[in-house]
Structure 1
Amino acid sequence: MRPAWPTITLIIAAVVATGCSRTPHVGIAAGSSFPPASPASTIGTVTGVPSIESPLDIDSFVTEPCHSLTNEQITKYLGEETKTNPRKDGAAGPACSWRSDMHSDAKISITYPQVTDEGLTAIYRNKNEAAYFTELPDVDGYPAVASSMIDARDEGECHLLVGTSNTSYVSVRAYLGDGSVGKVDPCEAAHEVATAVIGNIKAANGGK
Protein backbone atom coordinates (compact mmCIF):
# COMPACT_ATOMS: atom_id res chain seq x y z
CA MET A 1 0.00 0.00 0.00
CA ARG A 2 1.29 3.46 -0.84
CA PRO A 3 2.26 5.61 2.18
CA ALA A 4 -0.25 8.33 3.05
CA TRP A 5 2.06 11.33 3.12
CA PRO A 6 1.67 14.44 0.93
CA THR A 7 3.43 14.69 -2.40
CA ILE A 8 6.99 15.80 -1.76
CA THR A 9 8.80 18.61 -3.53
CA LEU A 10 12.53 18.14 -3.10
CA ILE A 11 13.32 21.83 -3.40
CA ILE A 12 10.48 22.72 -0.94
CA ALA A 13 11.40 26.40 -1.27
CA ALA A 14 10.75 28.56 -4.31
CA VAL A 15 13.00 31.49 -5.17
CA VAL A 16 10.79 34.55 -5.34
CA ALA A 17 13.26 37.39 -5.76
CA THR A 18 16.90 38.22 -6.41
CA GLY A 19 18.86 37.48 -3.27
CA CYS A 20 17.26 34.04 -2.89
CA SER A 21 14.37 35.01 -0.66
CA ARG A 22 12.41 31.82 -0.14
CA THR A 23 8.88 30.84 0.74
CA PRO A 24 7.92 27.38 2.07
CA HIS A 25 6.27 25.17 -0.55
CA VAL A 26 5.07 21.58 -0.04
CA GLY A 27 6.21 19.61 3.00
CA ILE A 28 5.53 16.41 4.89
CA ALA A 29 3.15 15.93 7.79
CA ALA A 30 4.81 15.86 11.20
CA GLY A 31 5.21 12.36 12.52
CA SER A 32 4.82 10.78 9.07
CA SER A 33 6.35 7.31 8.99
CA PHE A 34 6.60 4.26 6.80
CA PRO A 35 4.12 1.41 7.22
CA PRO A 36 5.58 -2.08 7.83
CA ALA A 37 7.57 -3.65 5.01
CA SER A 38 6.19 -6.70 3.24
CA PRO A 39 7.17 -10.21 4.42
CA ALA A 40 10.47 -11.57 3.10
CA SER A 41 11.59 -15.00 1.99
CA THR A 42 14.92 -16.76 1.47
CA ILE A 43 16.75 -16.60 -1.87
CA GLY A 44 19.88 -18.70 -2.28
CA THR A 45 22.05 -18.51 0.82
CA VAL A 46 20.99 -14.97 1.76
CA THR A 47 18.05 -14.74 4.13
CA GLY A 48 15.38 -12.07 4.18
CA VAL A 49 15.45 -11.20 0.48
CA PRO A 50 11.93 -10.53 -0.84
CA SER A 51 11.03 -12.72 -3.81
CA ILE A 52 9.57 -10.94 -6.85
CA GLU A 53 6.71 -12.88 -8.40
CA SER A 54 5.94 -10.44 -11.23
CA PRO A 55 9.27 -9.29 -12.71
CA LEU A 56 9.41 -6.08 -14.72
CA ASP A 57 11.18 -5.70 -18.07
CA ILE A 58 13.51 -2.71 -17.64
CA ASP A 59 15.45 -3.07 -20.91
CA SER A 60 14.00 0.07 -22.49
CA PHE A 61 14.95 2.11 -19.41
CA VAL A 62 18.46 0.65 -19.36
CA THR A 63 18.73 1.91 -22.95
CA GLU A 64 17.13 5.29 -22.17
CA PRO A 65 17.48 5.94 -18.40
CA CYS A 66 16.22 9.52 -18.74
CA HIS A 67 12.79 8.09 -19.61
CA SER A 68 12.51 6.99 -15.96
CA LEU A 69 10.63 10.18 -15.06
CA THR A 70 8.31 12.31 -17.17
CA ASN A 71 8.83 16.04 -17.61
CA GLU A 72 5.77 16.65 -15.46
CA GLN A 73 7.19 14.53 -12.64
CA ILE A 74 10.58 16.23 -12.83
CA THR A 75 8.91 19.64 -12.59
CA LYS A 76 6.84 18.47 -9.61
CA TYR A 77 9.93 17.39 -7.67
CA LEU A 78 12.55 19.89 -8.79
CA GLY A 79 10.76 22.90 -10.24
CA GLU A 80 10.48 24.20 -13.78
CA GLU A 81 14.18 24.96 -14.23
CA THR A 82 16.22 21.75 -14.24
CA LYS A 83 19.32 20.36 -15.90
CA THR A 84 19.36 16.79 -17.21
CA ASN A 85 22.53 14.69 -17.26
CA PRO A 86 22.28 11.32 -19.05
CA ARG A 87 25.10 8.85 -18.36
CA LYS A 88 24.46 5.76 -20.47
CA ASP A 89 28.02 4.55 -19.86
CA GLY A 90 28.04 5.12 -16.09
CA ALA A 91 30.47 2.97 -14.08
CA ALA A 92 27.66 1.21 -12.20
CA GLY A 93 25.27 1.15 -15.13
CA PRO A 94 23.14 3.45 -17.31
CA ALA A 95 21.97 6.46 -15.32
CA CYS A 96 20.25 9.82 -15.56
CA SER A 97 20.22 12.69 -13.11
CA TRP A 98 18.24 15.89 -12.84
CA ARG A 99 19.35 18.94 -10.86
CA SER A 100 17.22 21.90 -9.87
CA ASP A 101 18.42 25.19 -11.31
CA MET A 102 16.36 27.25 -8.85
CA HIS A 103 19.17 28.24 -6.45
CA SER A 104 18.85 24.82 -4.81
CA ASP A 105 21.03 21.73 -4.57
CA ALA A 106 18.03 19.42 -5.05
CA LYS A 107 18.85 16.50 -7.31
CA ILE A 108 17.47 13.12 -8.40
CA SER A 109 19.64 10.35 -9.79
CA ILE A 110 18.31 7.10 -11.29
CA THR A 111 20.66 4.20 -12.11
CA TYR A 112 20.10 0.75 -13.58
CA PRO A 113 23.04 -1.20 -12.07
CA GLN A 114 24.74 -3.74 -14.32
CA VAL A 115 27.39 -4.89 -11.83
CA THR A 116 25.43 -7.90 -10.58
CA ASP A 117 22.69 -10.26 -11.75
CA GLU A 118 21.57 -11.04 -8.20
CA GLY A 119 19.16 -8.15 -7.80
CA LEU A 120 18.52 -7.17 -4.18
CA THR A 121 20.25 -10.34 -2.98
CA ALA A 122 23.59 -8.55 -3.48
CA ILE A 123 22.38 -5.65 -1.34
CA TYR A 124 21.15 -7.91 1.45
CA ARG A 125 24.40 -9.89 1.39
CA ASN A 126 26.41 -6.72 2.09
CA LYS A 127 24.00 -5.06 4.51
CA ASN A 128 26.31 -5.46 7.51
CA GLU A 129 28.99 -3.46 5.70
CA ALA A 130 26.58 -0.64 4.85
CA ALA A 131 26.41 2.59 6.86
CA TYR A 132 22.65 2.09 6.94
CA PHE A 133 20.25 -0.58 5.74
CA THR A 134 16.52 -0.15 6.23
CA GLU A 135 13.73 -2.18 4.69
CA LEU A 136 11.01 0.14 3.43
CA PRO A 137 7.44 -0.51 2.35
CA ASP A 138 6.96 -1.87 -1.14
CA VAL A 139 7.10 0.60 -4.00
CA ASP A 140 3.95 -0.03 -6.02
CA GLY A 141 4.20 -3.73 -5.18
CA TYR A 142 7.99 -4.09 -5.49
CA PRO A 143 10.41 -4.48 -2.53
CA ALA A 144 12.58 -1.55 -1.48
CA VAL A 145 15.47 -0.89 0.88
CA ALA A 146 17.37 2.26 1.79
CA SER A 147 21.09 1.53 1.98
CA SER A 148 24.44 3.16 1.35
CA MET A 149 28.08 2.85 2.37
CA ILE A 150 28.00 6.50 3.44
CA ASP A 151 25.23 7.89 5.65
CA ALA A 152 24.38 11.40 4.47
CA ARG A 153 20.71 11.34 5.44
CA ASP A 154 21.18 14.20 7.90
CA GLU A 155 22.50 16.21 4.97
CA GLY A 156 19.40 15.45 2.89
CA GLU A 157 20.55 12.48 0.80
CA CYS A 158 19.00 9.00 0.67
CA HIS A 159 19.80 6.02 -1.53
CA LEU A 160 16.87 3.69 -2.21
CA LEU A 161 16.92 0.45 -4.20
CA VAL A 162 13.84 -1.21 -5.65
CA GLY A 163 13.86 -4.79 -6.91
CA THR A 164 12.37 -5.14 -10.38
CA SER A 165 13.07 -8.88 -10.65
CA ASN A 166 15.10 -11.45 -8.74
CA THR A 167 18.08 -10.48 -10.90
CA SER A 168 17.72 -6.71 -11.27
CA TYR A 169 16.92 -3.52 -9.38
CA VAL A 170 16.76 0.22 -9.90
CA SER A 171 18.72 2.69 -7.78
CA VAL A 172 17.10 5.99 -6.77
CA ARG A 173 19.07 8.74 -5.04
CA ALA A 174 17.29 11.81 -3.74
CA TYR A 175 19.20 14.90 -2.69
CA LEU A 176 17.06 17.47 -0.91
CA GLY A 177 17.39 21.16 -1.65
CA ASP A 178 18.86 23.54 0.93
CA GLY A 179 15.43 24.60 2.14
CA SER A 180 14.27 21.02 2.65
CA VAL A 181 17.07 19.56 4.78
CA GLY A 182 15.78 18.96 8.29
CA LYS A 183 12.17 19.44 7.18
CA VAL A 184 11.66 16.45 4.88
CA ASP A 185 12.84 12.87 5.39
CA PRO A 186 15.09 12.24 2.35
CA CYS A 187 14.15 8.55 2.32
CA GLU A 188 10.47 9.43 2.11
CA ALA A 189 11.35 11.75 -0.76
CA ALA A 190 13.30 8.95 -2.46
CA HIS A 191 10.37 6.58 -1.92
CA GLU A 192 8.01 9.07 -3.56
CA VAL A 193 10.32 9.42 -6.56
CA ALA A 194 10.79 5.64 -6.76
CA THR A 195 7.02 5.20 -6.82
CA ALA A 196 6.87 7.43 -9.90
CA VAL A 197 9.73 5.53 -11.56
CA ILE A 198 8.21 2.10 -10.93
CA GLY A 199 4.84 3.42 -12.11
CA ASN A 200 6.44 4.45 -15.40
CA ILE A 201 8.19 1.09 -15.76
CA LYS A 202 4.93 -0.74 -15.08
CA ALA A 203 3.17 1.41 -17.68
CA ALA A 204 5.84 0.44 -20.21
CA ASN A 205 5.16 -3.19 -19.27
CA GLY A 206 1.52 -2.77 -20.20
CA GLY A 207 0.40 -1.70 -16.74
CA LYS A 208 1.71 -4.91 -15.18
Structure 2
Amino acid sequence: MRLRGLALVVAVLASASACSDPAPQNNPSETASATSTPLADVPAISQPLNTTSFQQAPCSILPMVQAANLVSAVRTKAASGGTGEARCTYNDQESNGVSVGVVKRANWLQSTYAAGQSGKLAYFTPLPDVAGYPGAVSNNVDQRANGVCSVGVALSDHEFLSVISTFGGSSPFRSDPCPVLQKVAEASVKNMRGGA
Protein backbone atom coordinates (compact mmCIF):
# COMPACT_ATOMS: atom_id res chain seq x y z
CA MET A 1 0.00 0.00 0.00
CA ARG A 2 2.78 2.41 0.93
CA LEU A 3 4.62 1.56 -2.32
CA ARG A 4 1.53 2.66 -4.23
CA GLY A 5 1.58 5.86 -2.17
CA LEU A 6 5.24 6.46 -3.03
CA ALA A 7 4.50 5.91 -6.71
CA LEU A 8 1.67 8.46 -6.49
CA VAL A 9 3.93 11.01 -4.75
CA VAL A 10 6.66 10.51 -7.37
CA ALA A 11 4.12 10.90 -10.17
CA VAL A 12 2.66 14.06 -8.62
CA LEU A 13 6.09 15.61 -8.04
CA ALA A 14 7.28 14.70 -11.51
CA SER A 15 4.20 16.13 -13.16
CA ALA A 16 4.42 19.22 -10.96
CA SER A 17 7.82 20.04 -12.38
CA ALA A 18 7.30 18.77 -15.92
CA CYS A 19 8.37 21.25 -18.56
CA SER A 20 5.22 20.68 -20.58
CA ASP A 21 2.83 21.42 -17.69
CA PRO A 22 1.04 24.66 -18.55
CA ALA A 23 -0.14 25.45 -14.98
CA PRO A 24 2.15 28.11 -13.49
CA GLN A 25 1.57 26.99 -9.91
CA ASN A 26 2.82 23.52 -10.80
CA ASN A 27 5.75 24.49 -12.97
CA PRO A 28 8.70 26.43 -11.50
CA SER A 29 10.14 27.05 -14.98
CA GLU A 30 6.92 28.74 -16.08
CA THR A 31 7.01 30.80 -12.88
CA ALA A 32 10.59 31.80 -13.61
CA SER A 33 9.72 33.18 -17.00
CA ALA A 34 6.61 34.92 -15.71
CA THR A 35 8.28 36.81 -12.88
CA SER A 36 10.36 39.95 -13.28
CA THR A 37 11.88 39.75 -9.81
CA PRO A 38 15.65 39.18 -10.07
CA LEU A 39 16.90 35.91 -8.61
CA ALA A 40 19.05 36.08 -5.52
CA ASP A 41 22.38 34.43 -6.22
CA VAL A 42 21.51 31.08 -7.78
CA PRO A 43 24.64 29.00 -7.11
CA ALA A 44 26.73 27.89 -10.06
CA ILE A 45 27.44 24.25 -10.88
CA SER A 46 31.21 24.26 -11.19
CA GLN A 47 31.78 20.60 -12.16
CA PRO A 48 28.80 18.95 -13.90
CA LEU A 49 28.49 15.24 -13.18
CA ASN A 50 28.17 12.54 -15.83
CA THR A 51 25.09 10.64 -14.63
CA THR A 52 24.67 8.12 -17.48
CA SER A 53 25.55 5.04 -15.41
CA PHE A 54 23.28 6.15 -12.56
CA GLN A 55 20.35 6.62 -14.91
CA GLN A 56 20.87 3.05 -16.11
CA ALA A 57 21.33 1.63 -12.59
CA PRO A 58 19.61 3.99 -10.12
CA CYS A 59 20.19 1.75 -7.10
CA SER A 60 23.92 2.37 -7.51
CA ILE A 61 23.32 6.00 -6.48
CA LEU A 62 23.09 4.98 -2.81
CA PRO A 63 24.54 1.60 -1.81
CA MET A 64 22.27 -0.52 0.38
CA VAL A 65 24.61 -0.38 3.38
CA GLN A 66 24.34 3.42 3.43
CA ALA A 67 20.57 3.33 3.00
CA ALA A 68 20.38 0.90 5.92
CA ASN A 69 22.44 3.23 8.11
CA LEU A 70 20.51 6.35 7.13
CA VAL A 71 16.88 5.17 6.97
CA SER A 72 16.98 1.54 8.20
CA ALA A 73 16.34 0.27 4.67
CA VAL A 74 16.12 -3.49 4.21
CA ARG A 75 15.19 -3.69 0.53
CA THR A 76 15.43 -1.77 -2.73
CA LYS A 77 13.43 -1.63 -5.91
CA ALA A 78 14.30 0.05 -9.19
CA ALA A 79 11.45 1.46 -11.26
CA SER A 80 10.55 4.24 -13.66
CA GLY A 81 9.27 7.49 -12.20
CA GLY A 82 6.30 9.51 -13.38
CA THR A 83 8.20 11.10 -16.26
CA GLY A 84 10.09 7.96 -17.24
CA GLU A 85 13.29 8.54 -15.27
CA ALA A 86 14.78 5.55 -13.44
CA ARG A 87 14.45 5.71 -9.65
CA CYS A 88 15.46 3.49 -6.76
CA THR A 89 13.26 3.12 -3.71
CA TYR A 90 14.71 2.04 -0.37
CA ASN A 91 12.20 0.70 2.18
CA ASP A 92 12.39 -0.35 5.80
CA GLN A 93 10.49 -3.28 7.36
CA GLU A 94 7.33 -1.15 7.60
CA SER A 95 7.55 0.07 3.97
CA ASN A 96 8.61 3.59 4.95
CA GLY A 97 10.63 4.75 2.01
CA VAL A 98 13.08 7.04 0.31
CA SER A 99 13.26 7.30 -3.47
CA VAL A 100 16.27 8.62 -5.42
CA GLY A 101 16.79 9.23 -9.12
CA VAL A 102 18.35 11.49 -11.72
CA VAL A 103 15.81 13.67 -13.51
CA LYS A 104 16.52 15.37 -16.84
CA ARG A 105 15.30 18.96 -16.62
CA ALA A 106 16.98 22.01 -18.11
CA ASN A 107 17.62 24.87 -15.66
CA TRP A 108 15.89 23.09 -12.77
CA LEU A 109 17.84 25.05 -10.13
CA GLN A 110 17.07 28.46 -11.63
CA SER A 111 13.40 27.55 -12.03
CA THR A 112 13.15 26.29 -8.46
CA TYR A 113 14.82 29.40 -7.05
CA ALA A 114 12.50 31.62 -9.09
CA ALA A 115 9.39 29.78 -7.91
CA GLY A 116 10.59 29.66 -4.30
CA GLN A 117 11.60 33.30 -4.11
CA SER A 118 8.33 34.45 -5.63
CA GLY A 119 6.27 32.43 -3.14
CA LYS A 120 4.92 29.97 -5.68
CA LEU A 121 6.09 26.92 -3.71
CA ALA A 122 4.61 25.58 -0.49
CA TYR A 123 8.11 25.44 0.98
CA PHE A 124 11.56 26.40 -0.26
CA THR A 125 14.92 26.26 1.49
CA PRO A 126 18.08 26.71 -0.59
CA LEU A 127 20.89 24.21 -0.03
CA PRO A 128 24.00 25.97 -1.36
CA ASP A 129 26.38 23.04 -0.77
CA VAL A 130 25.32 19.38 -0.89
CA ALA A 131 28.67 17.61 -1.26
CA GLY A 132 29.79 20.42 -3.55
CA TYR A 133 26.56 20.85 -5.54
CA PRO A 134 23.70 23.33 -5.05
CA GLY A 135 20.14 22.26 -4.36
CA ALA A 136 16.94 23.00 -2.50
CA VAL A 137 14.34 21.52 -0.19
CA SER A 138 11.10 22.42 -1.98
CA ASN A 139 7.71 21.31 -3.18
CA ASN A 140 4.40 22.63 -4.50
CA VAL A 141 2.49 20.90 -1.69
CA ASP A 142 3.56 20.82 1.96
CA GLN A 143 3.15 17.30 3.34
CA ARG A 144 6.17 17.37 5.61
CA ALA A 145 4.02 16.79 8.69
CA ASN A 146 2.93 13.54 7.02
CA GLY A 147 6.48 12.32 6.37
CA VAL A 148 6.79 13.55 2.77
CA CYS A 149 9.71 15.78 1.82
CA SER A 150 11.45 16.57 -1.47
CA VAL A 151 15.12 17.47 -1.91
CA GLY A 152 16.75 18.25 -5.24
CA VAL A 153 20.43 18.72 -6.08
CA ALA A 154 21.55 20.22 -9.39
CA LEU A 155 24.16 17.95 -10.98
CA SER A 156 24.41 19.94 -14.22
CA ASP A 157 22.39 22.56 -16.08
CA HIS A 158 20.25 19.74 -17.49
CA GLU A 159 19.92 17.17 -14.68
CA PHE A 160 19.21 17.05 -10.98
CA LEU A 161 19.14 14.43 -8.26
CA SER A 162 15.63 13.99 -6.86
CA VAL A 163 15.22 12.55 -3.36
CA ILE A 164 11.69 11.99 -2.01
CA SER A 165 10.53 10.50 1.28
CA THR A 166 7.32 8.73 2.27
CA PHE A 167 7.62 8.07 5.98
CA GLY A 168 4.53 6.62 7.63
CA GLY A 169 3.43 6.61 11.26
CA SER A 170 5.91 3.90 12.22
CA SER A 171 8.91 5.90 11.04
CA PRO A 172 10.98 7.98 13.48
CA PHE A 173 11.40 10.50 10.64
CA ARG A 174 7.70 11.10 9.95
CA SER A 175 7.33 14.34 11.91
CA ASP A 176 10.51 15.90 10.49
CA PRO A 177 11.52 14.12 7.26
CA CYS A 178 13.71 16.73 5.57
CA PRO A 179 16.91 16.55 7.69
CA VAL A 180 17.47 12.84 7.02
CA LEU A 181 16.57 13.37 3.37
CA GLN A 182 19.34 15.97 3.13
CA LYS A 183 21.75 13.35 4.52
CA VAL A 184 20.55 10.86 1.89
CA ALA A 185 21.09 13.48 -0.82
CA GLU A 186 24.59 14.30 0.43
CA ALA A 187 25.61 10.63 0.62
CA SER A 188 24.18 10.05 -2.87
CA VAL A 189 26.08 12.95 -4.43
CA LYS A 190 29.33 11.86 -2.74
CA ASN A 191 28.85 8.37 -4.20
CA MET A 192 28.11 9.76 -7.64
CA ARG A 193 31.19 11.98 -7.53
CA GLY A 194 33.28 8.94 -6.67
CA GLY A 195 31.71 6.84 -9.41
CA ALA A 196 29.93 4.46 -7.02
Using the size of structure 1 for normalisation, the TM-score is 0.67
Matching residue of 1:77: 70
Do the aligned partners of residues 94 and 154 (structure 1) sit closer, same or farther apart at CA in structure 2, a change above 3 Å counting? Answer: same
Matching residue of 1:117: 106
Higher strand share: 1
1:17-72 deviations in Å (ceiling 9; x for gaps): xxxxxxxxxxxxxxxxxxxxxxxxxxx98623211111111111111111111121
The one-letter code matched in structure 1 to 2:51 is I
* SS in structure 2 at match of 1:112: strand
Q: Which has the larger radius of gyration?
A: 1
1:52-95 deviations in Å (ceiling 9; x for gaps): 1111111111111111111211221343632x221246425221
Matching residue within 126, 141, 147 for 2:115? 126
Runs (4+) off by over 3 Å: none
Aligned ranges for residues 41-190 of structure 1 at < 5 Å?
47-48=39-40, 49-79=42-72, 81-82=74-75, 84-88=76-80, 90-91=82-83, 93-100=85-92, 102=93, 104-114=94-104, 116-127=105-116, 128-177=119-168, 178-181=170-173, 185-190=176-181
1:111-139 deviations in Å (ceiling 9; x for gaps): 2112x222312222333321111113511
Matching residue of 1:24: none
The one-letter code matched in structure 1 to 2:99 is S
**Preserved CA contact (<8 Å) 1:160 1:190:** yes
Do the aligned partners of residues 89 and 155 (structure 1) sit closer, same or farther apart at CA in structure 2, a change above 3 Å counting? Answer: closer
Do the aligned partners of residues 85 and 182 (structure 1) sit closer, same or farther apart at CA in structure 2, a change above 3 Å counting? Answer: closer
After TM superposition, give the deviation of residue 108 of structure 1 in Å.
Answer: 0.7
Higher helix share: 2
Q: Percent identity?
A: 29
RMSD: 2.5
Do the aligned partners of residues 78 and 190 (structure 1) sit closer, same or farther apart at CA in structure 2, a change above 3 Å counting? Answer: closer
Using the size of structure 2 for normalisation, the TM-score is 0.70
The one-letter code matched in structure 2 to 1:111 is G
**Preserved CA contact (<8 Å) 1:50 1:143:** yes
After TM superposition, give the deviation of residue 161 of structure 1 in Å.
Answer: 0.5
Unmatched 5+ residue regions in structure 1? 1-43
1:200 lines up with 2:194 in the alignment: no
Unmatched 5+ residue regions in structure 2? 1-32
